[in-house]
Structure 1
Amino acid sequence: MQQMTSTAPSAPSAADALPVAVIGAGPVGLAAAAHLLEHGPEPLILEAGDDVGAAIRQWGHIRLFSPWRYDLDSASTRLLEAAGWEQPRPTALPWGREIVEDYLEPLAQVPAIRDRLRTRSRVVAVTRGSRDKTHVRGREGEPFVLRVRRRTEAGLQVDEVRARAVIDATGTWSAPNPLGAAGLPALGEDAPGVVPHLTGALPDALGEERQRFAGRHTLVVGAGHSATNTLLNLAQLAREEPGTQVHWAIRGQDPGRTYGGRDADGLPARGMLGTRLQRAVESGAVQLHAQASVSALRPVEDGKGHGVVVTVGDGDSARELTVDTVVAATGFRPELDMLRELRLELDPAVEAPVRLAPLIDPEIHSCGTVPAHGADVLAHPEGGFFLAGMKSYGRAPTFLLATGYEQVRSIAAHLAGDDAVARDLTLPETGVCSVAAPEPELIGVPTGVAHGRTGD
């Protein structure tokens, strides 16, 4: 077991009286605050959105593949039940909007959380003490300094918040991967004539955005659960709306890994997603394009002013598809620029904490093979700073909500000085989610997004 990084010097410092800053008010961020309250340290929750669960609200039309019993944090549940809240049926599969309305919003109204929550407060930078990260001497006892951009009735206001420790639970929903296969945008992806024809990973094709897709041609790019959900929704739309065509582009040759563990999956709803998608492909409802990495995009040049030409493949194997909309379900990556002045230790490939990266590497691990891990694995050279939730997984896609809850329970215990509790870790068995090691293009959430949803 790795030695736990100390979060404070042996002698008390001025920073010890400060709160622990929790960045992000999604399920994992609020769980971090709840566990801190139980263990003693005072939390301060900073949320960029207008309300809690801002990222989940954007995919509220998606049903989670993990039932409620895996989607609720223990400390958060104790706070809610003390306020008279009743748990949902443990075996029911919630929609994203139900996670917000039936869990996060009531939790945010509990006085212990409400009084420590600041919405419309975006953290744009985190540093430590009064000198940049090249200065090491005396750094450990200094407070963290968070620069916060707040939206007020009078306009934008920039403040600084000081904290004894920081838990970054902002997720990755706001930083999607580009369509290009090499980690860069495909040629033309950012062109003004192309951008209006692109959309994010989980459009509401059967609801608010129905008219955008009905009777039109759509290309979904990606091989993760978000792509699967979108493809299934579009296939249903095609049955209801004549002229609707659904295309699916994957980088590899075999879609089997997207079809997943099927009957072997410990979460039946997750396994059923792959089974349904396989049937849709075999029936022709979804047209599969294998070995179809996106290399370029350009607007349709026929004078009609709508549509985009997508070039997939390279060289002699390149081919073109003309569609109305391209859904980029190509995954997410952590936004790290705000942490530039901290002394972090991240894996160069996965962009996760170095001790966590080999446990979650998507070329090796499936969802059910990631072990429980806590503060010791998540620690950085910058003592007292932790990435938690989806952001801690960097570019890996195997995150589940239950994992994030266990992470922050361990971190809270560690910050309270109880490392024995911090190292006592457990996670429920959820079985395989892929029949083969997934490729890095698999989507990672959102978001702020914490996963466990059918969208990831």
Structure 2
Amino acid sequence: MAISSDPVDVAIIGAGPYGLSLAAHLRARGTEHRIFGETMGSWKNNMPPGMLLKSYPWASNLSDPRSEFTTKNFCTERALPYHDELMPLPLSRFVEYGEAFQARHVPNVEHKTLMALEPGPAGFRASFNDGETVDARRVVVAVGLHPFRRLPPEAEHLPSDLCSHSGDYGSIEPLDGRNVIVVGAGSSATDLAALLCERGITVSLVTRTPHLNFACRPRPRALFERTAAPMSGIGNGWTMAICARYPQLIRLLARNTRVRLANSRAHGPLGSAFMKDRVVGKVPLSLGRTLDGIETRNGKVVLNLVDASNSRHSLRADHVIFATGYKIDITRLGFLDEKLAHRIRRIERAPLLSAHYESSVPGLHFIGPVAANSFGPVCRFVYGASHPAQHLARYLSAVLPRIRPTTKLQTVESTVLS
């Protein structure tokens, strides 16, 4: 087992847009840190190839200290097609951009998985899957949404060969030759349904809503429209514009108001504008159907459904994918020591955070979607990565030198993903 002989000032857990952005800012300030995880791991492994980002390309930038390496600059450097608004950003291109950002601004990402986080002599002790144990004075958790996948209670008993969550994909190749039902009405559901259909897989889409809603195709907006409902990185309108620009202000609002904003209906089930024509008229739809039980028969899964008139219907398939979203619950972070988790004050099941993204456990910070109940809906978007990156880098660079030991840090060998 390799054990670091000296503590590190900051350990960042997660190498997605939020973790990479923070590491880029810390590196520029010369703040000692290590970052752990697979670069853009959830985007590469838990989203299907061919997916399109719902956010505008201009709002899908990681944050570097000079705001120079944007998706636009990345595409321009490589002579790739790009438009701020009028064309979507493919998932594959966004992943390539994230990997290029990492190579340029965060060369020290360590591809390893955190297994346990517990109190330690320096503050925290992190144990990884390669056997290394790292002591850290501050830990920033930036794990994204994947740990918080939500299945309906009726589906939790089903085996993985019959049931999965949309966040489990990745490649959809294992579904070849199977009859599949996708449950959900948001972009994950409609994207998967379209991609499965285009691959020649028999698929149908079941939704609780009576209509499928898709974002409007981007178009030039008149001055009056831009004034009445200004565009922001997380949606149009003054409320979303304020949420996008001023998360520190949102944190000062009443608790119920913050939670309501974080789960705003404006961010309810909504398919990508560019997916509408690939779903409607192509994928069989069962709209306005409520799940009333799940059974398994002869190796098949059967959904029992009820419509608005209380008529009952059943659909049978080889496999069901639930695109039923995510629910933040820090008890689902399996690496958190039970006693440590118990000390974290919460808003519902998300951590209650200070202005410095710090939980009630001193030195333990959370950024990304897990921070939305404290800082508002911008935390649920790539666009929001710049806020904690800039704020935390300033804060940590100011407070850490006061507690950094005078002894020289020794080099610790580790696996580095370049």
| TM superposition score category, shorter chain reference | 0.5 to 0.7
Aligned residue runs from structure 1 range 75-224, under 5 A: 75=64, 86=77, 89=82, 91=84, 93-101=88-96, 103-110=97-104, 113-114=106-107, 116-119=108-111, 121-130=112-121, 142-150=122-130, 157=131, 159-178=132-151, 180=152, 184-186=153-155, 188-190=157-159, 195-201=160-166, 209=172, 212=175, 217-224=179-186
Q: Are 1:290 and 2:259 counterparts?
A: no
Matched, 1:55 2:19: no
Question: Hey, what's the Cα distance between the residues in 2 that align with 1:42 and 1:128?
Answer: 20
Does the Cα contact within 8 Å between 2:182 and 2:203 map onto a contact in 1? no
- Aligned equivalents of 2:15 and 2:274: distance in 1? 34
Asked if structure 1 preserves the Cα contact closer than 8 Å seen for 2:185 and 2:270, the reply is no
Whole-Å Cα distance in 1 between the matches of residues 189 and 377 of structure 2?
A: 13
**Which of 205, 211, 214 is residue 255 of structure 1 equivalent to?**
211
When the two chains are superposed, the root-mean-square deviation of aligned CA atoms in Å is: 3.9
**Counterpart in the other structure of 1:332:** 326
- The 3-state SS of whatever aligns with 2:161 is helix
Q: TM-score, normalised by structure 1?
A: 0.61
> Which consecutive residues of structure 2, in runs of 5 or more, have no partner in the other structure?
1-5, 219-228, 237-268, 400-418
Alignment of 1:9-20 (within 5 A): 18-20=8-10
1:76–1:30: structure 2 CA closer, same or farther, 3 Å change rule? Answer: farther
- Aligned pair in 2 of structure 1 residues 160, 333: CA closer, same or farther (>3 Å)? farther
- Rounded Cα–Cα distance in structure 1 between residues aligned with 2:384 and 2:33: 21
Does residue 383 of structure 2 align to residue 402 of structure 1?
yes
Cα-to-partner distance string for 1:312-361 (whole Å, 9 max, x where unaligned): 359x865421112211211124433323315322212xx32336xxxxxx
Task: Label 1:65 to 1:328 Cα distance change in 2 as closer, same or farther (>3 A).
Answer: same
Q: 2:147–2:333: 8 Å Cα contact kept in structure 1?
A: no
Give secondary structure in 2 for the equivalent of 1:229: helix
Task: State whether residues 203 and 230 of structure 1, in contact with CA within 8 Å, keep that contact through their aligned partners in structure 2.
Answer: no
In 2, are the aligned partners of 1:262 and 1:271 still within 8 Å (CA)?
A: no
Which whole-Å CA distance do the structure 1 matches of 2:355 and 2:142 have between them?
17
Query: What is the alpha-carbon distance in structure 2 between the residues aligned to residue 211 and residue 168 of structure 1?
Result: 32
Cα offset, 1:382, TM superposition? 1.5
Q: Which residue of 2 aligns with 1:310?
A: 303
Structure 1 range deviating more: 322-331 or 283-292:
283-292
Distance 2:272 2:18 in 1: 25
Q: Which secondary structure does the structure 2 equivalent of 1:338 belong to?
A: coil
Q: Deviations over 1:145-187 (max 9, x none)?
A: 212222xxxxxx2x32111211111112144212x2xxx3537
Contact 1:309–1:323 at 8 Å: present in 2 too? yes
Deviation at 1:294, TM superposition (A): 5.3
Aligned equivalents of 1:224, 1:417: Cα separation in 2: 42
Which residue of 2 is the match for residue 273 of structure 1?
Answer: 272
Contact 2:186 / 2:270 at 8 angstroms: preserved in 1? no
Q: Which residue of 1 aligns with 2:243?
A: none
> Whole-Å Cα distance in 1 between the matches of residues 146 and 289 of structure 2?
26
Judge conservation of contact 1:80–1:106 (CA < 8 Å) in 2: no
For residues 415-443 of structure 1, the C-alpha deviation after alignment (integer angstroms, 9 at most, x for no partner) is: 1238xxxxxxxxxxxxxxxxxxxxxxxxx
- Distance in 1 of aligned mates of 2:44 and 2:193: 20
Verify the 8 A CA contact 1:235 1:286 in the aligned structure 2.
no
Aligned residues: 329
Helix, strand or coil for the counterpart of 2:150? coil
What letter is aligned with 1:273? S
Equivalent residue number for residue 73 of structure 1:
62
Q: SS of the residue aligned with 1:74?
A: coil
Cα distance change on mapping 1:287 and 1:415 into 2, 3 Å: same
Distance, in Å, in 1 between the alignment partners of 2:64 and 2:393 is 11
Q: Distance in 2 between matches of 1:279 and 1:94?
A: 17
Contact 1:188–1:296 (Cα < 8 Å) also in 2: no
Equivalent residue, structure 2, for 1:228? 190
Distance 1:223 1:271 in 2: 7
Give, as a single letter, the amino acid of the residue that structure 2 aligns with 1:212.
L
TM-score w.r.t. length of structure 2: 0.66
CA distance in 2, matches of 1:272, 1:291: 18
CA distance in 2, matches of 1:61, 1:347: 36
d(CA) in 1 for partners of 2:161, 2:128: 31
3-state DSSP class of the match of 1:21? strand
- Aligned match for 2:23, one of 33, 58, 62: 33
Unaligned ranges ≥5, structure 1: 1-15, 131-141, 151-156, 356-374, 419-456
- Report the counterpart of residue 3 of structure 2 in structure 1: none
* Aligned-pair CA distance for 1:211: 7.7
